[in-house]
Amino acid sequence: MAKKLLSGITGICIALLIGAGMMLAQGYDPIATYQALFQFSLFGLSPLATTFKNSVPLVLTGLSASVAFASGVVNLGQPGQLVMGGLLATLGGLYLELPALLLVPIMILLAMLGGALWAGVAAFLRRAFNMSEFISTLMLNMIADFFTAWAIVGPFADRTANSPATLPIDKAGWLPEVGGFNLSVLFMLLAVAGIWFVFNRWKAGYEWRISGQNSLFARLGGCDINKNFVTVMLVTGALAGLAGGLVVMAGPHRFLKGLGANYAWDGIMIAIVAGNGLIATLLYGLFFSAIQTGALGMELITDVPSEISLVLQAVLVLVIVAGREYLSTTLDRLAARRKALAARHNPEGEFP
Amino acid sequence: MDDLILMKDIVKVYPPSVVAVDDVSVSFRVGEIHAVVGENGAGKSTLMKVLYGLVPRDAGEIVYRGKPVVFHNPGEAIAAGIGMVHQEILLIPEYTVWQNIVLGVEPAASFDRLDREKARHLVKEKIDEFQFNLNPDALVGDISVAARQKVEILKLLYRNVSVLILDEPTAVLTPQEIPQLFSELHRLRDDGHTILFISHRLEEVLELSDRITVMRRGRKVDTVEVGTTNKEELARLMVGRNVIFTSRRKEHTPGKAVFRVHDLTYVDAEGRQRLHSIHLEVRSGEIVGVAGVEGNGQYELVNSITGLIEPSSGTISVNGSDITRAPILERRKLISIVPQDRGKMGASVNASIMENAIMTHHRLDSRFSLWKGLLLNYNQARTFTDELEKRFAVVMAARDNLFKSLSGGNQQKVILGRELMLPSPFVLLDQPTRGLDVGSIEYVHEQMLQMQAEGRAVLLISADLEELFLIADRIVVLYRGEIVADLPIENASVEEVGYLMLEGRGLQRDGQKAS
Amino acid sequence: MRILIGLITGMISGATPILLAALGGAFTFYAGVFNIAMEGMMLTGAFFAVLGSYFFQSWLVGILLAILGSLCMALIFIFFAVRLHTDEFITGIALNLFAVGATTYMLRQIFNVKGVFSAPGIIAIPNLDIPLINQIPFLGQIISGQNLMVYVTMIATLLSAYLIFKTRFGLRVRAAGYNAASLDSSGVSSARMRVWSLLICGVLCGLAGAFLSLGYVRLFSENMSAGRGWISLAAIILVNGNPWGVAIISLVFGFSDGLGLLLQGYNVPSQFTAMVPYLATLIALYFYSMKLKRTPIGRAYLRKHKHEHS
C-alpha cells in the first residue's frame, strides 16, 4: 500500500516536472501555468464542484475498466458502452413524461441498461463464438460511435440545432445542484461504494478477483468462469453506460455529437495508472479531472492552450506506470545488494 | 591435473533477500567429470549460472585458464569455450534440429540469406563426428526428450566448447535412457572435455563422476573424490543429518472401491487418441501410484478427473456418483485436488494466503455464506485459515500476506491443508513433491499416510519412481495412453517399471527383455 | 466496368495503409512483442507527413518526416517496454492515446485549426503511370496508375516475406518470439531483435500514415487513423503474422471499405457504411475463433490477459 502511494506521488511530481520542462521549451511560465491550472480546478467551491462534476464520466469509466481488468476481462468497450447508455437514457428523457422523482432513477437505470446491453453483445460473441472480447469491444466502439451519430441526425434529431444533437430531455431529468455540487457526483460516489462493496465483500467479487489473477486456479477451485465473465461484462458495461447517462443529465441535457469524446479512453488510462485499484481509480479520476478542468480555465488567462492537458496526462500515465515497475525493481535490487554485503562480511558464519 | 576453472568467494543474492550462493569457492580440473550435488535450493544451479554469465554475481571472482574472467552473458562464455545445457530444454520446438543448432552462428550468403544447404551439411558433420544419431531435419518439437537433450549438447559442441555444464540432465530421462547419456559423457571426457554435472540423484552421480562437490543452503560443504565416499555420506553432507532410504509404508487392508474410472477414452482436437480405454480403481485407505514418462496420457487423465477437459467416452465415478461430465464445483464435493504446478494451478500467488486457503470452501461450506449466500463471511475465513495454519503447521507471518511470500514447502502445506480440509473421499495428487526440499517431501508423504489412515482413496501421479516405491500400495504404468501394468507394489521392481514406462511391455522374469 | 475498376482501385487504396501497418506489426508479432501501438504510430506518421509536405512543398519530405515521427513513437515504445520492462499492452495503449493528444495539440498549435487541416499547399504523393502496362485493357488500368505508395507496399510485402523467412535476421526474429530464452542462450540478444522489429514497424507505420494523409486523401484530421491500426492487428492475429496472408486480409478489408463507399451511392446512411470495415473485422474474428486456432502469439496475448481462451 505504501509502495503504491509513494510511486503515485513520485510519478505525479515527475510528470509535472516534465510538463514544466515542455512548457519552458515552448516559452511559457510553468509556475504561473500550474497556478492557473489548480486555481481553476481546486481552489474554491465553484472550481472544485466543476472538477467533481467533470470527474463523473472519468471515474465511472475508469471503474468499469478497473473492475474488468482486475477480473481478467478485457473490456475495452467503455467508449461504446458510454454512448449507448447515454443514448438510451436520452430516449427515456425524451419520451417518458414522469415527475423527477421517477424519471431520474429510470433514466439512470436506462443508462446502465444501455451500457450493459452493448457490453452484452461482446459477451455473447465471446460465449457463443469464442470471439476475443479484446477485439470485439474495440470494433463495437466504432460501431456504436457511428450508430449514435446516425441516431442524432436521423430519427431523434433536433432539426433546429446547429450541430448534430437530439432535442433536450424533459426538465424533470435535469440533475440539479445540491450545495454547489451536481447531483451526478452523488450517484457516482454511490456507484463507487456499491461496486467496492461487491468487489471486496461478495463471494462473486472474490471469485472475480481470483479469476483475474489466475483463472486456471479459480476454475479448478470450482468457480464458474463463464458465468462470472458475463456478469463482469454486464456490470462494467452498466458502469460505463451510467457515465453516459449522467453526462447527459448533468451537462448538456441532450445527446449531442462528441458526447462520449475521450472520457472513456481516459477512463481506461486511469484504470491502468491506478493499477486496477478501485479507490485509486477514484483518486486518479479526480486528479485527471482537475487537470482537464483547470486547463480549460487556464487557457483563458494564460496563452497556454488547453491541449497541454492531453500531453500532461499522457506523460503522467507513462511515468507512473513505468515508474511503478522501475521503483519496485530498484527497491528489490537495493535490498538484494544489502544482503549480498552481509553475506560477504560473514564468511565464517555458523553452518545452518 | 591443472585447475581449469577456479571460482573464488562467489556470492549471489536474488532480489530482494534470497541468498542463493553464500561465499562459495570451488575448482574444476581439465578432463574430469565433476558433479555438484545438493537439495533443491542448495544453490548449485545458481552457482553454475554465475559461471556461465547468465546471472551476474554480487561478489567473488572466476579464474579461467589462469586468467580472471567475467562473462556478461552466455555468448561470452561460449566464445571462451564454456557451454551450459539447462534443465528446461531451451530449444525452439517449431524449428528443425539444424536450425536450432546453428541459431546465432548461421552460415550466410549475400543479402543475409540463410545458407540452408551449408548449415545442414555442417550439422550433419557434427552429428556424425560425435555419433549422436539425430535427424537434422526433424522438428525439435517432434523428437524425444532424450534426443532434444542431445541437440542441446550438440549445439554447444558445434561452437567448439570444451567445458560442458549439465543441469539435472537425468531429470527428464527414463531409467533406460540414462546409461546412453552416461556413456556419451564418458566418451566426451576421454576426448578431453570437462563436464560439470548438477544433480540431486546420488546413485547416478556416484556412477558417473570423478569428483563431487556438495552444496547446502548456498554454501559449499565439501569436495570429495568418488572412490572415497558413498550414498549415505553424500546424503548426510547434503542434508546435515542421517537420511533414511527405506519405505514408509505400513501394513493395512484397503476398503471398498471409492474411485472408479471405466473405459475412459480421450481423442484430442487433432484426432490423436490420448487415452485408450482406461480402467482404474482406487479403494478406501489405498494409495495408487501412476508411473509413466511425461506425455503418455497423465495430462489427459488428470484433467479428465478434475474436469478441465471432457473425455470422449467412458465414465469416472466417486462413491457411485458419475462425475464424468459434471461441472467442476460438483466434483469438488467428492474430490480433493493437489495439482501439478503450485503457482499455475494450485494457488494465486498474488492473492493473500487467506484468499488462497478458502477457495472452494467458500462455495461448499455454508459457514462462509452471509445474507442469502451473496456475501462472503470474512470472520469465518479468518477462523478457517487459522485452523489450517495450526493443523498443518504452516510457517507464515500473517494471513493477509501474499501467498508468494511463503516458501515452496509452506505453500504446498497451505494447498494440502486446503484440499484435505474438504470432506472428500478421494484425493488426487499430481507431482506433489516436485521442487520441495527433503523436509517438505517427508511432510507430504506423512500427510499421504494420514490420508490413508483416514480411509481416503488416494491417486498419486509421480515422475519420481523412488517416491512411488516409498509410499504407494499399488503401481499403475501409463504408456501411450494405456495402462500397461497394474501391480501391487510387492510384486514390482524399479527396473521392471522403468522398462514398462519406456517400452510398454515388461521384462521377463529372469530379467531378459520380452520379445 | 468502370464501377468494377473503381471498386478494385478503392479496395487497393483501402488495403494499402492497413497492409503497411500490418507488415510492421508482423515483425513485432514474430518477435514476440505484444504491439498494439500501430494505430498511434500511423496517426503520428500521417500528421508529420502533412507537416513535411506543406512546409517543404515536397511529398518526399513528407514521407521522410512521417517515418521519423513514427520512429519516435517506436523509440518511446522501446524505451518503456523493452528497456524498462513496462507491460507492452499498457505501453501500447498509452502510446496510442499520446499520439492522439499530441497530434491534435500540434494540429491546433501549428496550423491553428480545429478538426481538419486541408490546404492546397499540401503536396500529395503522386500516382504512377507505368508505360506499356497502361495500354493493357482493364488490367492495365488497375496495375498502372496507382499511387506510388501502393507500389512501395507491394515491394514492402515482398521484402518482408524475404526478410522473415529467408534470412538469418528473420530466423532470429522468429526465434525471439518462439522462445526468447533459447535465443539468448544461443548468444543473440532477443531484446535486440525486439528492438529491430519495433523500428521496422515504426518505418512501415510511418509509410502507412503518409499514405493516409498524402495519398488516400490530402489532409490531416483529428484521429484520422480511425481504428485502422486495430484492424491491422486483427489481420495479423488471423494469419499468424504471415505477410502474404496479411496482404490478402488487407485486401478484404480494403474491399469492405470500398463497399461502404459504394453503398453510400444507394442511400445507405454514411454512418452505416462507415461501420462496414469494423463489422467485417468482427465477421473475420468470428471465422478465426470458430477455427479454434491456437496461435503462437496467443501465448503473448494470454500472458497479458490471464483468462482462458478455451
User: Which CATH number does the domain housing residue C24 bear?
Assistant: 1.10.3470
Residue indicated by cell numbers 541468498: B19
pLDDT tops 90 at residue C235: no
Nearest 5°: the CA angle A179, A183, A189 is 105
Within a domain: A38: no
Contact between chains at C178 and B93 (C-beta distance less than 8 A): yes
The beta-carbon neighbor of A154 closest among C85, C269, C308 is C269
CB contact under 8 Å between C84 and A325, yes or no, is yes
- Lowest mean pLDDT segment, chosen from B10-19, B202-211, C67-76: B10-19
Whole-angstrom distance, CA of residue B463 vs CA of residue B500: 13
For residues A217 and A338, state if they share a domain: no
In a domain, C300, yes or no: yes
A81-90, A130-139, A337-346: range with lowest mean pLDDT: A337-346
Closest alpha carbon to B460 in B478, B480, B484 = B478
Give the Cα separation of A128 and C281 in Å (integer): 17
Residues B277 and B439: their CA atoms lie apart, in Å, by 38
- pLDDT of residue A304 exceeding 90, the answer is no
pLDDT of residue C151: 92
Do residue A100 and residue A247 come from a single domain? yes
Distance from CA of C256 to the nearest CA of A (A): 14
**Where is pLDDT greater, at B191 or C205?**
C205
Mutate to test the interface with B, among C158, C159, C164, C171 (most CBs of B within 10 A): C171
Task: Tell me the helices (H) and strands (E) count for chain C, helix number first.
Answer: 13, 2
Q: Do B114 and C171 touch (CB under 8 A)?
A: yes
- Say yes or no for a CB contact (<8 Å) between C84 and A326: yes
Q: What is the ipTM of this complex?
A: 0.83
Name which residue leads in pLDDT, A160 or B484. B484
Cβ separation B364–A339 shorter than 8 A: no
Pair B303, B274: CB distance under 8 Å: no
Contact A344 B327 (CB under 8 A): no
User: Could you tell me if A242 and A35 are in contact, meaning their C-beta atoms sit under 8 angstroms apart?
Assistant: no
- Quote the number of domains for chain C: 1
Distances (CA, A) of A155 to A96, A150, A164: 17, 8, 12
Q: How far is C205 from chain B (nearest CA, A)?
A: 24
A339/B13 touch (CB, cutoff 8 Å), yes or no:
yes
Give the one of B14, B59, B217 whose C-beta lies nearest to A352's C-beta.
Answer: B217
Any domain includes A43: no
State which residue of chain A sits closest to B347, comparing Cα positions: A217
Q: What is the largest CA-CA distance in chain B?
A: 78
How many other CB atoms are found less than 10 A from the CB of residue A157?
15
Distance from CA of B87 to the nearest CA of C (A): 12
Q: Where are the beta strands (DSSP E) in B38-138?
A: 59-64, 67-69, 82-85
Give the bridge partners for B214, in sequence order: B37, B222
Contact state of B344 with A219 under an 8 Å Cβ cutoff = no
Give B401's DSSP letter.
S
Do residues A124 and A72 share a domain? yes
> Rounded to whole angstroms, how far apart are CA atoms B161 and A111?
69
Size of interface A-B (CB pairs under 8 A): 115
Could you identify the residue written with the cell 474436469? B307
Residue B161: closest CA among B153, B170, B173, B150: B153
A214 and A319, same domain (yes or no): no
B198 in Cβ contact with B35 (< 8 Å): yes
Task: Write out pLDDT tens, residues B293-346.
Answer: 777 889 899 999 999 999 999 999 999 899 999 999 999 999 999 998 888 899
Predicted local distance difference test score (pLDDT) of residue B240 = 65
- How far is Cα B121 from Cα C153, in angstroms, rounded to an integer? 37
Query: What was the pLDDT predicted at B13?
Result: 83
Q: Which of A311-325, B24-38, C83-97 has the weakest average pLDDT? A: A311-325
Read off the pLDDT band of A159 (50, 70, 90): confident
Cβ contacts of B84 on chain C, cutoff 8 Å: 185
The residues, any chain, with a CB within 8 Å of residue B334's CB and separated by 6 or more, are B318, B319, B321, B323, B424, B425, B426
Please choose, from the candidates B411, B397, B403, the residue with its C-alpha nearest in 3D space to the C-alpha of residue B352. Answer: B403
Once rounded to an integer, what is the mean pLDDT over residues C164-172? 94
Which of A286, A320, A309, A300 lies closest to A49 in space, CA to CA?
A: A286
Mean model confidence pLDDT for chain C? 84
A291 and A338 in one domain?
no
Question: Among the three residues A267, A285, A302, which one is the final residue of a domain in this structure?
Answer: A302
- Cell 488567462 locates to A301
Which chain B residues touch A202 with a CB distance below 8 Å?
Answer: 374-376
Do A142 and A207 belong together in one domain? Answer: yes
Confidence class of residue C140 from pLDDT cuts 50, 70 and 90?
confident
Q: For residue A124, what pLDDT band results from cuts at 50, 70 and 90?
A: very high
Residue B206: which of B174, B169, B231 has the closest Cα?
A: B231
Which residue from B minimizes the CA distance to C177? B92
Q: Mark whether A180 and A279 lie in a shared domain.
A: yes
- Measured CA to CA, the distance from residue B456 to residue B252 in angstroms comes to 13
Dihedral angle sign, alpha carbons of residues A216, A221, A227, A230: negative
Confirm whether A33 is domain-assigned.
no
For residue C123, being part of any structural domain is answered with yes
Contacts of C182 in chain B (CB under 8 A): 90-92, 100, 103
Is pLDDT at A8 greater than 60 in this prediction?
Answer: yes
Report the pLDDT value the prediction gives residue B17, as an integer from 0 to 100: 63
Question: Percent of chain B beyond pLDDT 70?
Answer: 94
Chain A residues closer than 8 Å to C97 by CB = 265-266, 269, 313-314, 317
Contacts of A214 in chain B (CB under 8 A): 344, 347-351
Task: Tell me, yes or no, whether C186 lies in a domain.
Answer: yes
Question: How high is the pLDDT of residue B508?
Answer: 56
Q: Which chains have at least 3 CB atom pairs separated by less than 8 Å from chain C?
A: A, B
**Best A199, A210, A235 residue to mutate vs chain B (most B CBs within 10 Å):** A210
Rounded CA separation B183/B199 (Å): 17
Q: Is A267 helix (H, G, I), strand (E, B) or coil?
A: helix
Question: In Å, how far is A13's CA from the nearest CA of chain B?
Answer: 26
Nearest CA-CA distance, residue A322 and chain C, Å: 5
- Segment A3-10 shows an average pLDDT of 72
Q: What is the structure's pLDDT at A126?
A: 92
Q: In this structure, how many other beta carbons lie within 10 angstroms of the beta carbon of residue A239?
A: 34
- For residue A270, give Cα distances in angstroms to A76, A210, C104: 13, 22, 20
* d(C-alpha C203, C-alpha B225), whole Å: 61
Q: Which pLDDT score is estimated for C304? A: 38
pLDDT, greater one: A45 or B458? B458
Q: Determine the residue of chain B that is closest to C159 in CA distance.
A: B111
- Domain assignment present for residue C310? The answer is no
CA distance B402 to chain A (A): 12
Q: CA nearest C78: which of C170, C197, C182? A: C197
Do residues A180 and A284 share a domain?
A: yes
| Percent of chain A scoring above 90 in pLDDT | 40
Q: Is the predicted pLDDT of residue C51 greater than 60, yes or no?
A: yes
Residue A34 resides in a domain: no
Which is more confidently placed, A14 or B339? B339
If one counts the domains in chain A, the total is 2
- pLDDT value, residue B247: 63
Higher pLDDT, A21 or C173: C173
Q: Does C179 touch chain B (CB under 8 A)?
A: yes
CB-CB neighbors (< 8 A) of A213 in chain C = 306
pLDDT in tens, A317-326: 777 777 776 7
Separation of alpha carbons A273 and A282, rounded Å: 11
Q: Which of B102-116, B459-473, C204-218 has the highest mean pLDDT?
A: C204-218
Say whether B375 and A201 touch across the interface (CB within 8 A): yes
Q: How far is C21 from chain B (nearest CA, A)?
A: 24
Cell numbers for A284, please give them: 486518479
A150:C84 CB<8 A: no
Q: Residue A285 falls within a domain, yes or no? A: yes
Chain C residues in contact with A134 by the CB 8 A cut-off are: 301, 305
What is the domain range of residue A324?
1-28+306-345
Residue C106 confidence (pLDDT): 85
Cis peptide before B16 (omega within 30 of 0): yes
The pLDDT assigned to C306 comes to 33
Does residue B270 sit in helix, strand or coil? coil
Please report, in angstroms and rounded to a whole number, the separation of the first and last CA atoms in chain C: 47
The answer to whether position A336 is within a domain reads: yes
pLDDT at B245: 55
A125: chain C residues, CB-CB within 8 Å: 282, 286
Residue C94: which of A74, A135, A269 has the nearest Cβ? A269
Record: contact A325-C109, CB cut-off 8 A: no
Inside any domain, residue A350: no
Residue C176, pLDDT above cutoff 50? yes
Q: What is the pLDDT of residue B246?
A: 58
**Per-residue pLDDT tens over the stretch B392-410:** 888 888 889 889 888 878 8
- The reply to whether C182 touches chain B by the CB within 8 Å rule is yes
- Whether A352 is covered by a domain: the verdict is no
pLDDT at C71 over 60: yes
Tell me how close the Cα of C95 comes to any Cα of chain B, in angstroms: 28
Contact (CB<8Å) B92/C175: yes
A261, A219: one domain: yes
Higher-pLDDT residue of C243 and A20 is: C243
The pLDDT tens digits for B8-21 are 888 888 766 677 88
Encoded amino acid at B422, one letter:
L
Whether residue A181 sits in one domain with residue A328: no
Give the per-residue pLDDT at B514.
42
Give the residue with greater pLDDT, C224 vs A328: C224
Residues C13/C216, Cβ–Cβ less than 8 Å: yes
Estimate to the nearest angstrom the gap between the alpha carbon of A31 and the chain centroid: 28
Q: Specify whether A185 is located in the same domain as A262.
A: yes
Nearest-CA distance C173 → chain A (Å): 25
pLDDT given for residue C208 in this prediction: 95
Contacting A residues, span 24-83, partner chain B, CB-CB under 8 Å: none
pLDDT for residue A90 is more than 60: yes
User: Which chains have at least 3 CB atom pairs separated by less than 8 Å from chain A?
Assistant: B, C
pLDDT given at position B306: 93
Instruction: Please indicate if any CB of chain B lies within 8 Å of the CB of A319.
Output: no
B vs C: CB pairs below 8 A? 66
What is the per-residue pLDDT across B60-87, written as a single tens digit (0 to 9) for each?
999 998 889 998 888 888 889 999 998 7
Asked whether residue A168 carries a pLDDT value surpassing 70, the answer given is yes
Same-domain status, A100 and A203: yes
Range of the domain at C156: 2-129+138-305
d(CA C186, CA C176): 11
Give the span between the Cα atoms of B235 and B241, in whole angstroms: 8
